[in-house]
Amino acid sequence: MGRRRFFKASAAGAAGLVILSDSRSARAAAANDKLNIAGIGVGGQGAGNVGAVGSANNVVALCDVDAARAAETFKRFPAAKQFQDFRKMFDEMHAQIDGVTVSTADHTHAVAAIAAMKLGKHVYCEKPLTRTVYESHLMRLTAAKHKLATQMGNQGSASEGLRRAVELAWGGFCGELTECHVWLAGGDGPQERPKDTPPVPPTLNWDLWLGPAPVRPYHPCYVPASWRRWRDFGSGSGGDMGCHTINMAFRALRLDLLWNPDPAEKPEKPPIIRVEAEASEIHPETYPRTIRAVFDIPARGKNLPALKLHWYNGGLKPPKEVLRGYTMTQWGCLVGGPKAAILSTCPWNTNVWLLPQEEFKDYKGDEPRVPRSPGHHAEWIRACKGGEKAFSNFDVAGPMNEIIHLVHVATLAGKPIEYDPQACKIVSPAEANPLLHRDYRAGWSL
């Protein structure tokens, strides 16, 4: 879904709220200094990301495997050196780069971002953060080890609607949060590999586009945009939009504490997340048409009790009763308790409603407590210069992405799984652990 739809939804989110309301890279930069930015994947969404962070900074390098897709960005930043292979870009220019945007297909996110972070570069990475659970785990640890500024591209994180919803949930508006439902309209479905082998477009380096994925012939059913449904390249519709739609619930429920517990309330035993999932079908090449999953989420502290998180993908929806009189919607994210519920009906969590709606139609709420955003990309630039952490930094984005990929892992396991988030390990059934990660082609590694 494009940037235009997102920003229209952001405006709607602001209206919806009327119902309520230290990291430095090796090359340090002061608050007023310009950063040297490199972009990896600079067509499509990548063009927007480079433009957003590069307009007030120095874009010194641009890397894309498809010269045609990247042409407008190359034209916009003529002084930037152009590359096809980010490994060569880092070999040649790493000393001149402060921060990197990564906006490739999902299967290349981790290899590119981790290569950058190992060189001490701050990273802005598009959603979903990675293609596998383990990659998300390693992205979080690598960023922490090198003390880097990071941000995932779930732009709704910067919206007034999401932040107001989160602070209301944290402030006890619903009472203890004991209910959660997340539903997505999109779905995928079975598709066989094409048998024909059309020629590779002259502007595309197909081998570099494949990157760490197994070799297969080029076909336009993968590139430029349909790769998401294919397991070797993407994360399905749930990965594509899940990082947007679950965002409010993940933050409101403080699920990040399962990975990074409060030292004052750290449990004696590691928390275990149980996931049971049912898919419309399992296909080795592509993601299912529909998925229904239930997470048994353990307590995260004395005021955050255990609960079930219900996930629906491909047009499946929760029982209408959970909406407390509100009309069922195509997309939704709801958290609730004995007093009330908070609902977002926008994929990006920007328009938020309090339920029952009639009871809270005039509710104004307390003064804002969660800091407001200067802009999603601006947060990352500020963090790169030693300022406040970006709201969707990898300490939050990594675990959020793990949750989404655990849905896929559970469907492939064919039985409930029990996952230790701090160890990045399936404790039962142990034979499902290979599903957390995938092998890479020779020449590509983390």
pLDDT per residue over 222-265, tens digit each? Answer: 999 899 999 999 999 999 999 999 999 999 999 999 999 988 88
Same domain as 75, residue 161: no
Total domains in the fold of the chain: 2
Q: Please say if the pLDDT value at position 103 is more than 70.
A: yes
Q: Specify if 257 maps to a domain.
A: yes
User: Which residues fall within 8 angstroms of residue 420, CB to CB, at 6 or more apart?
Assistant: 270, 271, 272, 426, 427
What would the two tokens of residue 326 be?
A: 């509100």
Cβ atoms 286, 230 nearer than 8 A: yes
Q: Specify if 338 maps to a domain.
A: yes
Q: Specify if 290 maps to a domain.
A: yes
What would the two tokens of residue 284 be?
A: 């080795």
Q: Please say if the pLDDT value at position 371 is more than 50.
A: yes
Report helix, strand or coil for 323. Answer: helix
Would you say the pTM of this structure is higher than 0.75? Answer: yes
Same domain as 292, residue 427: yes
Same domain as 150, residue 165: no
Which of 112, 140, 156 lies at the terminal end of a domain, its last residue? 156
Cβ atoms 177, 337 nearer than 8 A: yes
pLDDT above 70: percentage of residues in the chain = 93
Closest CA to 159 of 345, 351, 18, 380: 351
Same domain as 288, residue 256: yes
Cβ atoms 399, 130 nearer than 8 A: no
Cβ atoms 239, 405 nearer than 8 A: yes
CATH of the domain at 135: 3.40.50.720
Which residue range(s) make up the domain with 349?
157-188+233-368+395-436
Closest CA to 151 of 133, 125, 177: 125
Cβ atoms 142, 112 nearer than 8 A: no
Cβ atoms 31, 179 nearer than 8 A: no
What would the two tokens of residue 353 be?
A: 């409603």
Q: How many Å apart are CA 342 and CA 412, to the nearest integer?
A: 32
Which of 116, 133, 156 lies at the terminal end of a domain, its last residue? 156
Same domain as 415, residue 276: yes
Chain Cα centroid distance, residue 359: 34
Q: Specify if 17 maps to a domain.
A: no
Q: Specify if 328 maps to a domain.
A: yes
Same domain as 167, residue 130: no
Q: Specify if 34 maps to a domain.
A: yes
Same domain as 400, residue 294: yes
Q: How many Å apart are CA 237 and CA 331, to the nearest integer?
A: 13
Strands 99-102 and 122-125: parallel
DSSP string computed for 390-438:
PTT-HHHHHHHHHHHHHHHHHHHHTS-EEEETTTTEEEESGGGGGGG--
Question: Torsions phi, psi of 98, nearest 5?
Answer: -100, -45
Q: What is the pLDDT of residue 6?
A: 43
What would the two tokens of residue 34 be?
A: 């310009």
Least confident window among 47-61, 221-235, 253-267, 384-398: 253-267
DSSP string computed for 62-75:
EE-SBHHHHHHHHH
Band of pLDDT at residue 352, cut at 50, 70 and 90: very high
Cβ atoms 319, 336 nearer than 8 A: no
Same domain as 400, residue 314: yes
Same domain as 179, residue 107: no
Same domain as 304, residue 165: yes
Q: Is 164 exposed, middle or buried (0-12, 13-18, 19+ CB in 10 A)?
A: buried
Q: Specify if 50 maps to a domain.
A: yes
Question: Torsions phi, psi of 186, nearest 5?
Answer: -75, 160
User: Which residues fall within 8 angstroms of residue 215, CB to CB, at 6 or more apart?
Assistant: 207, 441
- The residue behind tokens 């919206």 is 159
Q: How many Å apart are CA 350 and CA 8, to the nearest integer?
A: 10
Question: Torsions phi, psi of 215, nearest 5?
Answer: -70, 135
Same domain as 419, residue 283: yes
Which of 102, 132, 156 lies at the terminal end of a domain, its last residue? 156
Same domain as 164, residue 104: no
For the segment 125-172, what is each residue's pLDDT rounded down to a tens digit?
A: 999 999 999 999 999 999 999 999 999 999 999 999 999 999 999 999
Band of pLDDT at residue 5, cut at 50, 70 and 90: very low
Q: Please say if the pLDDT value at position 31 is more than 80.
A: no
Q: Specify if 125 maps to a domain.
A: yes
